[in-house]
Amino acid sequence: MDAYLVAILTIAGIYVILALALNLQFGLTGLVNFGVVGFFGLGAYASGIATESFHAPFIGGLAVAMATGALAGAALALLCLRLSGDFLAIVTLGFAETVRLIFNNEDWLTGGPKGLLIMTRPVLADFGRTANAWMVLGVVLTGAVLTLALMLRLAGTPYGRVLRAIREDELVPATLGKNVFVYRLQSFVIGSMLMAAAGSLYAHYVQTITPDNFTTPVAILVWMSVIVGGPGNMLGAVVGALAVVTIYEGSRFLTPWLGFLDAEQVSALRFIVIGTALILVIRFRPEGLLPEPRHTPVVPATRRPALKG
Amino acid sequence: MQMFINALATAAILAPAAVAFTLIFTLFRYANFAAGGFVTVGAFAAWTLNAPLGLPLWAGGVGAMGVCAGAVALSDRVVFRPLRGRSGGTLLLVSIALSFVIENIIRFGFGAQVKGFDLPLTGPLVFAGLRVPKETLFVIAVSLVATLAVGALLSFTPIGRALRAVADNPSLANVRGLPVPGVEAFGVIVAGALFGLSGTLVGVDLAIDPNLNWAIAIPVIAAAIVGGLGSPLGAAIGAVVIGLAEELTAAHFTPTYKGAVGFVVIALVLLLRPQGLLGIKVDRK
Amino acid sequence: MDLTRRLFLTGSTLTVAAPALLRYGLAQSEPIKVGSLVPLSGGGGPYGPEKAQAHKAVVELVNKQGGVLGRQIVLVSENSETNPEAAVRAARKMIDADRVCAILGTWASSETLGIMPLCQEANVVQIFTGSSDTLPNGDKKGLCYNLQPLNKAWCVALADLAAKRGELKIAFAGPKNDFAASMGDSFSKALEKVGGKIVGEPLYYNPNQVSYRAEAERLINTGAPALFLAGYVTDLTPVYRELVRGGYKGKVFALSFAVGPQFKQAVGTAADGILHGSPVPPVGKDTYDAYLSLVGLKPNGQVQNPYGCAAYDEMNLLLLGIASARSTEGPKIAEHIMKVANGPGERVTTFAQGAKLLAEGKSINYDGASSSADFLPNGMLKSRDFALYEIQGDKDVLLTTTTSEAEQ
């Protein structure tokens, strides 16, 4: 059972990083980014190609992944950040799909549909499977904790306040002299860079990546983490990611009770439940499990003599 | 020239759905990604009536239109109406989740096996060096009639005028005495019927399976955006543009990137000319 | 005080020892856990369910007949989603939480390869269908068995069959996925070896599209007298329909698993004349018919459920291996699967037959529903017999056979 839990925690850690990154982009800044898996995949392939074809160590792969993510994020943002919410979503979705098609078609670079085999692992030395698994878990959890710390920092500082202000009504911070576009750009690029980093960790963990790993259902799971956990609340994103992974994995154990359905139906049912849950949360509890901490200014009490004597 | 005919055939399938998409966008101001899901519902509804139940295809088509109208109305009531007023991004997210749910409900009920209509497969009509498959003529004809009918409905009838008024400014229309909920319901039903029609036409052309959802959604949305959101005629023209773009890409570039065409077109249009060909410039958040 | 303490010590010792004692006693009747990991969604979605159904049917039958070595079999089913990562998580659960002795059913080579490191490390047997040429690579401790011929073998056989029919100029088209991706090149080389030539470049297309008109157009424009379409039923159906509608008059070669009953129903009489290739003709074989009746189908002269019959063999081979080895340890089972599959021994076609003979101390040779199930030392199929069928009015008519010369 141990090894199974280690595996689940590792995946959860990666989803936490993805959720935190998306939370920065959407939760704080209001950018509807559906290109999550595009950056995730770019990071994975960039890191894989760096370590396999160019013999870089894992850290090198991670760095290349983050650079690729940042560059792609910047390029995409420059192109379409000015678009309104739903159009931005469609264009970013298109980005993710196009990137996936590139992965699938350009065999010479990515191995195409057969996938890329990655032997490099973020471990110090090969101490055997179980030890390796724990080491990888350690690396992923470190990444998750660092990301969380960074995000909390960003959210709590004046920087975070500006992002939130932009999310609510960009006219106000603009009037105050803030360059709205640059803030949005920064938020988007930092987010995409982190998603790419998650991709790198993912690639070196699963060791075989194919274009099929980076499809829209994954994006839906990440979005669900953010929405369910609480958009705007970083701890909420962590809780949301853990909740989503638990639901996904936990539903495997319910299969024996659903014996009257065939396996295909159980699988479809799981996705139905996830999609419906997302809609229900948006409808009935849009602030998520952990609502955004409200930063209300302290109003000094006014002293007025009581009217009634 | 052959390419143009092929593009028209593709466009004919996309056009009704694109018009429906633009209708919903105009009335309710959000992009309904579940368009793909509804078209899939239409395809499966038509198939159920046609293959296991043995009804002729036109009956299956009419039935599909009815089922889809119901589906769209139901989803509007249950999912979208309570969320009216929320940002476009939220509604899009909800519609993506909804399309996901619809796809899997279909998979749950019908399985993932590929299905097809009970139709004989015949060769093409050949004239002047062009090959025109018989089904293509049928599909183009039906689609054209439907689009013209809806266009006429919107432009020349009182209910059409009412629809446009409500779309433009619901509160003003209300003040003027228009039955806004009734008009909206009408719009929803017309949109649903169009999705059903597209679904039936898709079934004539492609294999019917739950994965249709994603395959259809993007070209439909692209067609509507290219044509200009808010203009049904634009949506139809947009469908032709998308059909052409896909044909050109497959013929001169490589078929493996055909899937990206819709997205590239959307991005280009949104960046260069957001109102599309015939659309109205709308202030969006 | 003293009495209580003594009671407590005795009591706790017994309580601690009890499970161990019980476990020893129960171990003889503890169920055997087997994993069934098939794609129920994604690209393999149309093919996984028949595998899962076959696994379940065999297990239910064997359990009814008394199980294996007197123990019942518990089947753990999961969806691999045609996605290696999902497959790995499901495999992790099966290996660590359920403690299966074998994982059967993976369909996409990427899934099989994805879960291989885990299975290898836990000494879990893998029996699957896969065609990627990279599957035989590496030392697999003899734990892996593949019930499908590899890509190269398919191509060489099909080229040979095409040449036998006099078709030497063939254009190639296939979806851009794991299976077909390398087939274009392999087929081209194979065709050249038998004196033919591929027309133009291999055409690859996207599997999930609105329309395949343009692709069909391109194929028609090559003017090739014959086409080899390496697609699955989901994309083959619309591509073929476009070809017919576009007026293509040449010969069409396909793979048998793509032109099954669903394809024929969708395309109707226009399917007549399609030539399709399949490994060792199962149609009419007694094992194949037994499989069909087990899952409630009637033999109808067509190649039905090509993956289901392979899954039937997967499960039978595993259970016979366990019965022969008298153990549920992976390496032992694997060793005995080789024995029961290759023989020499008496020919058996069901678990019941085989188990009876094994109990009598005799050797057996399992002859499967999807192939004769004889393996090379690396776990790949030995026999590379292929057959060419032609669709004639809803039936698959056997035309000719060949033995693929591809090196395994």
Per-residue pLDDT band at A275 (split at 50, 70, 90): confident
User: What is the rounded distance in angstroms from the CA atom of residue B89 to the CA atom of residue C369?
Assistant: 53
B272 reaches A (C-beta below 8 A): no
Chain B residues whose beta carbon lies within 8 Å of the beta carbon of residue C234: 114, 207, 209, 211
DSSP H stretches of helix in B51-179: 57-75, 88-110, 134-156, 158-168, 170-175
- Taking an 8 Å cut-off on Cβ atoms, the answer to whether B108 and A282 are in contact is no
Mean pLDDT of chain C: 83
Which member of A8, A215, A263 has the closest CB to residue C77? A263
User: What is the rounded distance in angstroms from the CA atom of residue B249 to the CA atom of residue B259?
Assistant: 10
From the candidates C220, C245, C248, C263, which should be mutated to test the interface with B, based on the most B CB atoms within 10 A? C245
User: What is the rounded distance in angstroms from the CA atom of residue A201 to the CA atom of residue C290?
Assistant: 48
Report DSSP state, residue C315. H
A119 reaches C (C-beta below 8 A): no
Q: Is the model more confident about B139 or about A99?
A: A99
Residues 148-207 of C with CB under 8 A from A: 176-178, 181-182, 204, 206
Residue B33: half-sphere exposure toward Cβ, Cα within 13 Å: 26
* Per-residue confidence (pLDDT) for residue A82, from 0 to 100: 80
Give every CB contact of residue A200 below 8 A, 6+ residues apart in sequence.
Answer: A43, A44, A46, A47, A61, A62, A64, A65, A66
Chain C residues whose beta carbon lies within 8 Å of the beta carbon of residue B245: none
Per-residue pLDDT band at A68 (split at 50, 70, 90): very high
Report CA-CA distances (Å) from C67 to C125, C142, C381: 19, 25, 28
* Per-residue confidence (pLDDT) for residue C279, from 0 to 100: 74
Let me know the angle formed at the C-alpha of C152 by C151 and C157, rounded to the nearest 5 degrees: 100
Report DSSP state, residue B249. I
Task: Count the Cβ atoms, other than its own, within 10 Å of residue A36.
Answer: 30
Chain C residues whose beta carbon lies within 8 Å of the beta carbon of residue A7: 88-89, 92, 96
- Residue A267's nearest CA partner among C76, B203, C39 is C39
- Taking an 8 Å cut-off on Cβ atoms, the answer to whether C41 and B131 are in contact is no
User: What is the rounded distance in angstroms from the CA atom of residue B184 to the CA atom of residue B181?
Assistant: 5
Q: Is the model more confident about C325 or about B229?
A: C325
| Strands in C339-383 per DSSP E | 346-348, 364-366
* Per-residue confidence (pLDDT) for residue A209, from 0 to 100: 83
Q: Is the model more confident about A18 or about B77?
A: A18
Nearest CA distance, A171 vs chain B (angstrom): 11
* Per-residue confidence (pLDDT) for residue C12, from 0 to 100: 54
* Per-residue confidence (pLDDT) for residue C22, from 0 to 100: 45
Let me know the angle formed at the C-alpha of A291 by A289 and A294, rounded to the nearest 5 degrees: 165
- Residue C254's nearest CA partner among C149, C175, C372 is C175
Per-residue pLDDT band at A295 (split at 50, 70, 90): low
Q: How many residues belong to chain C?
A: 408
Per-residue pLDDT, averaged over A43-70, amounts to: 90
Per-residue pLDDT band at A188 (split at 50, 70, 90): very high
Report CA-CA distances (Å) from A100 to A214, B213, B256, C198: 7, 18, 11, 29
- Taking an 8 Å cut-off on Cβ atoms, the answer to whether B255 and C214 are in contact is yes
- Taking an 8 Å cut-off on Cβ atoms, the answer to whether A264 and C77 are in contact is no
A247 reaches C (C-beta below 8 A): no
A98 reaches C (C-beta below 8 A): no
What are the beta bridge partners of residue C103? C35, C126
* Per-residue confidence (pLDDT) for residue C21, from 0 to 100: 47
Q: Is the model more confident about A253 or about A124?
A: A253
**ipTM, 2 dp:** 0.81
- Taking an 8 Å cut-off on Cβ atoms, the answer to whether B101 and A264 are in contact is no
* Per-residue confidence (pLDDT) for residue A27, from 0 to 100: 86
From the candidates A80, A86, A285, which should be mutated to test the interface with B, based on the most B CB atoms within 10 A? A86
* 3-class state of residue C240 by DSSP: helix
Mean pLDDT of chain A: 84
Place of tokens 């369909």: C107
Tens digits of per-residue pLDDT, A76-133?
998 888 887 778 888 898 899 899 988 888 888 887 777 777 777 777 666 666 777 8
- Position B60, amino acid: G
Is the pLDDT at A309 greater than 50? The verdict is: no
* Per-residue confidence (pLDDT) for residue C128, from 0 to 100: 93
- Residue B261's nearest CA partner among B224, B222, B206, B217 is B222
- Residue B26's nearest CA partner among B129, B137, B124, B173 is B173
* Per-residue confidence (pLDDT) for residue C26, from 0 to 100: 44
Among chain C residues, CA nearest to A256: C76
Q: Is A6 exposed, middle or buried (0-12, 13-18, 19+ CB in 10 A)?
A: middle
What are the beta bridge partners of residue C171? C227
Instruction: Kindly give the pairing relationship between strand C385-392 and strand C395-403.
Output: antiparallel
Which member of C45, C83, C182 has the closest CB to residue A212? C83
Place of tokens 């990611």: A241
Structure pTM? 0.83
Tens digits of per-residue pLDDT, B90-127?
788 888 889 989 988 998 888 766 677 766 666 677 77
Which member of A101, A208, A264 has the closest CB to residue C110? A208
B87 reaches C (C-beta below 8 A): no
Mean pLDDT of chain B: 82
Residues B205 and B13: beta-carbon distance below 8 Å: yes
Residues 10-69 of B with CB under 8 A from A: 30-31, 33
User: How many contacts (CB atoms, under 8 Å) link A and B?
Assistant: 122
C314 reaches A (C-beta below 8 A): no
Which member of A84, A105, A286 has the closest CB to residue B88? A84
Chain B residues whose beta carbon lies within 8 Å of the beta carbon of residue A216: 214
- Taking an 8 Å cut-off on Cβ atoms, the answer to whether C110 and A264 are in contact is no
- Taking an 8 Å cut-off on Cβ atoms, the answer to whether A11 and C77 are in contact is no
Which member of A1, A117, A210 has the closest CB to residue C96? A1
User: What is the rounded distance in angstroms from the CA atom of residue C62 to the CA atom of residue C68?
Assistant: 7
Tens digits of per-residue pLDDT, C59-115?
999 999 999 988 999 999 888 888 887 888 899 889 988 899 999 999 988 889 888
Among chain A residues, CA nearest to B29: A86
A109 reaches C (C-beta below 8 A): no
Per-residue pLDDT band at A195 (split at 50, 70, 90): very high
Report DSSP state, residue C392. E
Among chain C residues, CA nearest to A106: C176
- Residue B99's nearest CA partner among B221, B13, B15 is B221
- Residue B46's nearest CA partner among B239, B199, B259 is B199
Chains with 3+ CB–CB pairs under 8 A to C are A, B
Let me know the angle formed at the C-alpha of A28 by A173 and B281, rounded to the nearest 5 degrees: 65
Which member of B97, B254, B257 has the closest CB to residue A220? B97
Residue B70: half-sphere exposure toward Cβ, Cα within 13 Å: 9
Which member of A7, A113, A208 has the closest CB to residue C181? A113
B73 reaches C (C-beta below 8 A): no
- Taking an 8 Å cut-off on Cβ atoms, the answer to whether A269 and B111 are in contact is no
Is the pLDDT at A19 greater than 90? The verdict is: yes
User: What is the rounded distance in angstroms from the CA atom of residue A248 to the CA atom of residue A56?
Assistant: 34
* Per-residue confidence (pLDDT) for residue C109, from 0 to 100: 85
Chains with 3+ CB–CB pairs under 8 A to A are B, C
Q: Is the model more confident about A206 or about C33?
A: C33
A169 reaches C (C-beta below 8 A): no
Residues 14-43 of B with CB under 8 A from C: 14
Give every CB contact of residue C336 below 8 A, 6+ residues apart in sequence.
Answer: C320, C321, C322, C324, C325
Tens digits of per-residue pLDDT, B243-267?
888 888 877 777 778 778 888 888 8
Tens digits of per-residue pLDDT, B49-66?
887 777 777 788 888 889
Residue ranges for chain C with pLDDT beneath 70: 1-28, 210, 280-281, 383-384, 405-408
- Taking an 8 Å cut-off on Cβ atoms, the answer to whether C89 and A263 are in contact is no
Among chain C residues, CA nearest to A130: C121
